[in-house]
Amino acid sequence: MAISFKVIKEDTESRARLGQLETPHGTVQTPVFMPVGTQASVKTMTPHEVSQVGGEMVLSNTYHLYLRPGHELVAEAGGLHRFMRWDGPILTDSGGFQVFSLGPLRRITDEGVTFRSHIDGSELFFSPEISMDIQMALGADVAMAFDECPPYPCSYEETRKATERTTSWARRCLKHHNRKDQALFGIIQGGVHRDLRLKSAAELSAMGFPGYGIGGLSVGEPKPLMYEVLDYLIPAMPGEKPRYLMGVGSPDCLLEGVARGVDMFDCVLPTRIARNGTVFTRDGKLVVRNAEYARDFSPLDPECDCYACRNFTRAYIRHLIKANEVLGIRLTTIHNLRFVLRLMEDIRTAIAGNHFSEMKTKFLRRFKTD
Amino acid sequence: MAISFKVIKEDTESRARLGQLETPHGTVQTPVFMPVGTQASVKTMTPHEVSQVGGEMVLSNTYHLYLRPGHELVAEAGGLHRFMRWDGPILTDSGGFQVFSLGPLRRITDEGVTFRSHIDGSELFFSPEISMDIQMALGADVAMAFDECPPYPCSYEETRKATERTTSWARRCLKHHNRKDQALFGIIQGGVHRDLRLKSAAELSAMGFPGYGIGGLSVGEPKPLMYEVLDYLIPAMPGEKPRYLMGVGSPDCLLEGVARGVDMFDCVLPTRIARNGTVFTRDGKLVVRNAEYARDFSPLDPECDCYACRNFTRAYIRHLIKANEVLGIRLTTIHNLRFVLRLMEDIRTAIAGNHFSEMKTKFLRRFKTD
């Protein structure tokens, strides 16, 4: 087995739990948030900096790396870890989410998906087997099964078909995947339909994956609906396997996800809004590029311990962003990732100390959401 | 006196010399290359990184900071050092070069220059007094006199007028400047006309500035012509004062400049070409974004000790640049600055060890120029 997972402690007032995920590239404490390095780089950051803000495991994208620079080149470089010089664990997604997000550009059959490259428009084809081949070449510690991710909203009938296909594709992935130093996680689909979610969970669980992704959430549905799905879905998932809620990363959703039993998260949100001049503070988001911060000589977040907050003012960072200086988005990215990763540290400390629910309530009372 | 300069050693085979420039923010070994932080940031880098690659003194731009964020805001932040968190020495240019490069957008009278902002097109006015006020507000260790920098080529008559105006403006700068913890350098003009250069040098020298810029070179003239000007100009400049060749930064020009007696340099070249995917190696420039490096798993420059070369391959950096990942241009920038700053270290070591001419010949024999 490439990875092993053990639950260290379970919270008594919620489904939150502490765990340890052992991988060929080190052990990760869960609940964990994985920064996203779409194109083999966590945008604007060196691997050293990702590590410094507390990043332990990163995610990279099969679809993007397949298109550029190509998985054969990455394999030739010695695999993704060596190519991008990240010595910790890596997870690659299956490419499914990306090829399905391309919308009108794609055609789905039981065999796989025909889609067009967002770079040069060329016609390409992904199947469960191809996704496995690419991910095995990339060589991450965790690969994800190739799934069909329906949009939101989506009719019951269409969701049912996508869920069935996801199950059949999961079987093909399992059959094709043969890299011993890489774990393959299944992905549960089913949209916001309870019976489909439970069916998907049952079918995937029966296949005995070493971990499970929860796909098809955080795709535009209201947050309470996502929480509702997690409420009934997670108890139907294997308790001894890591549960990974894909594409979730806002501070409030991280807390609510952990409370419902999620062990792993990834999301571009913290780094994406950073490049837009928006940062997290304990009071909520702050748009530092706004004129009101032009003469604000305090740090982005006075309670933060990151490099940006220890050294620079809102006024300077706003200036850099307005002047299109790369250092500006480097500093907001460092801060936002540190904010989220420190939140995960606080969450783990709280679970360990039996005060997670209290910590969650306190954080959410202060943190203003949109 | 805000600064003091002493010549430590003179080369016997050339005009190269070792010196020490003491400033309110530390002592700099000369010959020195100053990385350029146009908008209060050396593009893509943190101050810490600039220091790590060997940067001791940086240059920032009066014109740009006046437009954005404004010198009053910088003063309010506690001055440029505190605003950008650079604790070492800073030099600000006068804004002259920028307003004169704007070409048809500007109008020059003896009083000053009317020009249009490159950001919003608004009409603005710079005079020697205004340039001094802005630079005093910014609070760099060294300010530069406001000069008229003629283009290349430029008629004798026009160059003569610009040189006269530069002398008269230098006098006004000296009269208006009154910040005791800031040194004001004069700028010698005169184009490529020997008598005008010598006249400018004589007039400026008589005013007793603590240092002198050589302006109006590296503006498009052939390199041999620039060297010729330096050959007759530098002996006419005060020997005990630092000599600063403005806007020069290619490795070959740095060596030739040092050989002719230059103590200080600045240039955007190393950082600008880096953002374009071009890096320096001991053999000359290398365009790492070219297809031939797609599968090249060696470092940018195998002889370099920088962070980029110690950790990443040409193939990875090329991928990052092709994929528009900021990390790509961060790594090429780190490398190019380290290359130039290490060259300056090697130059100083060579002068100290009495083998500068040999070192220069050896470097130039191998380093292919365009």
State the SS3 of chain A: CCCEEEEEEECCCCCCEEEEEEECCEEEEECEEECECCCCCCCCCCHHHHHHCCCCCEEECHHHHHHCCCHHHHHHCCCHHHHHCCCCCEEECCCHHHHHHCHHHCEECCCCEEEECCCCCCEEEECHHHHHHHHHHHCCCEEECCCCCCCCCCCHHHHHHHHHHHHHHHHHHHHHCCCCCCEEEEEECCCCCHHHHHHHHHHHHHCCCCCEEECCCCCCCCHHHHHHHHHHHHHHCCCCCCEEECCCCCHHHHHHHHHCCCCEEECCHHHHHHHCCEEEECCEEEECCCHHHCCCCCCCCCCCCCHHHHHCCHHHHHHHHHCCCHHHHHHHHHHHHHHHHHHHHHHHHHHHCCCHHHHHHHHHHHCECC
Strand order in the sheet with A212-214: A32-34, A264-266, A243-245, A212-214, A183-188, A142-144, A90-92, A58-60
Asked whether the beta carbons of residue A69 and residue B322 sit closer than 8 angstroms, the reply is yes
Q: What is the pLDDT of residue B1?
A: 73
* Res. A1: pLDDT tops 90: no
Nearest CA in chain A to B316: A83
Give the mean pLDDT of A219-243.
98
Contact indicator for B290, B283 with CB cutoff of 8 Å: no
Query: In the predicted model, what is the mean pLDDT of chain A?
Result: 97
Helix H or strand E encompassing B118: none
**B20 in a known ligand binding site:** no
Looking at residue A196, its pLDDT comes to 98
Confidence bin at A290 (pLDDT 50/70/90): very high
ipTM of the shown complex: 0.98
Q: Which of B42, B46, B117, B289 to mutate to test the interface with A (most CBs of A within 10 A)?
A: B46
Q: Do B316 and A85 touch (CB under 8 A)?
A: yes
Provide long-range contacts, Cβ within 8 A and 24+ apart, for B41-44: B41/A320, B41/A323, B41/A325, B41/A327, B41/A328, B41/B84, B42/B271, B42/B337, B43/A325, B43/A326, B43/A327, B43/B271, B43/B275, B43/B333, B44/A326, B44/A327, B44/A330, B44/B271, B44/B275, B44/B326, B44/B329, B44/B330, B44/B333
| Cα gap A221→B259, rounded to integer Å | 69
* CATH 3.30.1490.20 matches A4-266: no
State how far residue A302 is from chain B, nearest Cα, in angstroms.
Answer: 17
* Alpha-carbon distance B331 to nearest alpha carbon in chain A (angstroms): 9
Cα B12 to its chain centre, rounded Å, is: 26
Which among A45, A46, A324 is the top mutation candidate for probing chain B, defined by the most B β-carbons within 10 Å of its own β-carbon? A46
Q: What percentage of chain A reaches a pLDDT higher than 90?
A: 96
- The answer to whether residue B93 is catalytic is yes
Can you tell me the mean pLDDT for A174-187?
98
Compute CA distances A84 → A46, A249, A266, B76, whole Å.
Answer: 9, 23, 18, 42
For chain A, the distance separating the N- and C-terminal CA atoms, rounded to the nearest angstrom, is 42
**Is B304 marked within a binding site?**
yes
Q: How many residues does chain A have?
A: 370
Sign of CA dihedral A202, A207, A208, A210: negative
Q: How far apart are CA B203 and CA B211, in angstroms?
A: 14
Q: Which residues contact B274 (CB under 8 A, 6 or more apart)?
A: B329, B332, B333, B335, B336, B337
Percent of chain A residues topping a pLDDT of 70: 100
Active site residue ranges of A: 93, 266
Q: Which residue has the tokens 């499970």?
A: A212
Measure in Å the smallest separation between the Cα of A266 and chain B Cα atoms. Answer: 19
Chain A CB contacts of B307 below 8 Å:
46
Q: What is the mean pLDDT of residues A175-191?
A: 98
CB contact under 8 A, B39 and A320: yes
Mean pLDDT of the region A179-193: 98
Residue A236: per-residue pLDDT? 98
Domain ranges of chain B: 4-266, 269-363
> Residue B101's pLDDT is what?
82
Within 8 A of B69 by CB-CB distance, chain A residues are: 294, 315, 318-319, 322-323
How many angstroms separate the CA atoms of B258 and B252, rounded? 10
Mutation to test the A interface, candidates B38, B41, B272, most A Cβ within 10 Å:
B41
Render pLDDT for A319-333 as a digit per residue (tens, 0 to 9): 999 999 999 999 999
Chain B residue at shortest CA distance from A298:
B77
pLDDT at A268: 97
- For the annotated binding site of A for substrate, the residues are 93-97, 147, 189, 216
Tell me the two tokens of residue A27.
């052990």
In order along its 370 residues, chain B shows pLDDT tens digits of 799 999 999 999 999 999 999 999 999 999 999 999 999 999 999 999 999 999 999 999 999 999 999 999 999 999 999 999 999 999 999 998 888 887 677 899 999 999 999 899 999 999 999 999 999 999 999 999 999 999 999 999 999 999 999 999 999 999 999 999 999 999 999 999 999 999 999 999 999 999 999 999 999 999 999 999 999 999 999 999 999 999 999 999 999 999 999 999 999 999 999 999 999 999 999 999 999 999 999 999 999 999 999 999 999 999 999 999 999 999 999 999 999 999 999 999 999 999 999 999 999 999 999 7
CB contact under 8 A, B319 and A294: no
Task: Establish whether B301 is an annotated binding residue.
Answer: no
Q: Does A313 contact B77 at a Cβ distance shorter than 8 Å? A: yes
CA B102 to each of CA A261, A333, B69, B114, B273: distance values in angstroms, whole numbers, following the listed order: 61, 35, 20, 11, 22
Contact B316 A73 (CB under 8 A): no
| Euclidean distance between CA atoms A68 and A304, whole angstroms | 36
Written as one letter, the residue type at A67 is L
Note whether B46 contacts A327, CB cutoff 8 Å: yes
Instruction: Note whether A365 and A331 are within 8 A (CB).
Output: no
CB A229 within 8 A of CB A197: yes
Q: Which residues lie below 8 Å from residue B250, measured CB to CB, with a gap of 6+? A: B267, B269, B369
Compute CA distances A298 → A303, A329, B77, whole Å. 11, 17, 10
Catalytic residue among B93, B141, B263, B301: B93
Q: Distances from the Cα of B95 to the Cαs of B58, B125, B178, B208, B331, in angstroms?
A: 16, 11, 18, 22, 30
B322 interfacial to chain A (CB closer than 8 Å): yes
- Can you tell me which residue has the tokens 């070179």? B217
- pLDDT tens digits, one per residue of A84-109: 999 999 999 999 888 888 767 789 99
Are the beta carbons of B89 and B57 closer than 8 angstroms?
A: yes
The token pair at A118 is 């967002």
- Clarify whether B266 is annotated catalytic: yes
Contact A68 B294 (CB under 8 A): no
Query: Could you say which of B39, B307, B320 has the minimum Cβ distance to residue A41?
Result: B320
Chain A contact for B118 (CB, 8 A cutoff): no
How many angstroms separate the Cα of A49 from the Cα of each of A43, A200, A223, A308?
A: 11, 38, 31, 12
Contact criterion met (CB < 8 Å) for A83 and B315: yes
Q: Return the residue of B nearest to A37 by Cα.
A: B325
